[in-house]
Structure formats: C-alpha cells, structure tokens
Amino acid sequence: MGFGYGNIVGRYILGVRPLTAGFDKIEIAPQFADLEFIEGKVPTIKGPVSIRAEQSIGKSVTLELTIPNNVKATLSLPFAKDKNISSVSVNGQQVKFNADTGLLDDDRVVGRSICCGSIL
C-alpha cells in the first residue's frame, strides 16, 4: 500500500488494513468523524476494496463494500461507545453487533455487501 496521502486515506479514513500477510484477511474500520460521506478504492494484491459510506451523524451509518471474493473481512462500525445501537444489518439481514468493540459477530461481509446501522 505504499506511503503518502493515498495510504493515509485508505488505511485510516476508509479503514482498510491487512490482518494477514497477502491481504487474505482484512479489517475494515472506517473513521469518518464529522464527514457525512466518504468513498474510495484501496488497491490490494488480491484486488481492489471499494467503500462508499454515508452517515446521518448521531443517527445511522450505511456502508456499501465490494471486497475481492478471495478475501475475508472483519468489519468494525464507527459508532461511539456511549451510543445505543438499535440494529445492524448486512444485505437486509439482521446481524449481531458487539457495541463494546464495534465488531460484527459473523463473517457475512464478502463480495458486495451493504451494511446498515441505526442508533437510538
């Protein structure tokens, strides 16, 4: 992933980082702070990871992800720890979410996925 501004955007704002050598497993943990919209493509040795994310600050987050088929991803949603999460879904199906870690409790994020989270 080289260095420079593109690397900072990909690793920290879009939140794409390798968890294993060769990008067999990645973490996606976007950090958009007060931005309402972020979008980008992060090149990896397995193919590009595309992210489009929108948030209604303090209310909801929607992520559209495209991950290479030969890559597994761990997704961490950007919710503040003091928020009450009412629901998280992947491709329209409700999934378990650990509000303490921000992690989804299953591996449904593969290929093209749409992840939505709502805050009470």
pTM score of the predicted model:
0.79
* CA-to-CA dists, residue 91 to 9, 37, 113, angstroms: 26, 20, 6
Count of structural domains, the chain: 1
pLDDT of residue 42: 92
Q: Which helix (H) or strand (E) holds 93?
A: strand 93-94
- The pLDDT of 60-83, averaged and rounded, is 81
Domain range for residue 109? 5-119
Q: pLDDT digits over 20-50, tens only? A: 999 999 988 888 888 899 999 999 999 999 9
Count CB atoms within 10 A of the CB of residue 101. Answer: 11
Q: Which two tokens stand for residue 58?
A: 């303090």
Distance CA 80, CA 100 (A): 9
Q: Could you tell me where the DSSP H helices lie in 1-120?
A: 5-8
Radius of gyration, CA atoms only, the chain:
14
CATH number of residue 32's parent domain: 2.60.420.10
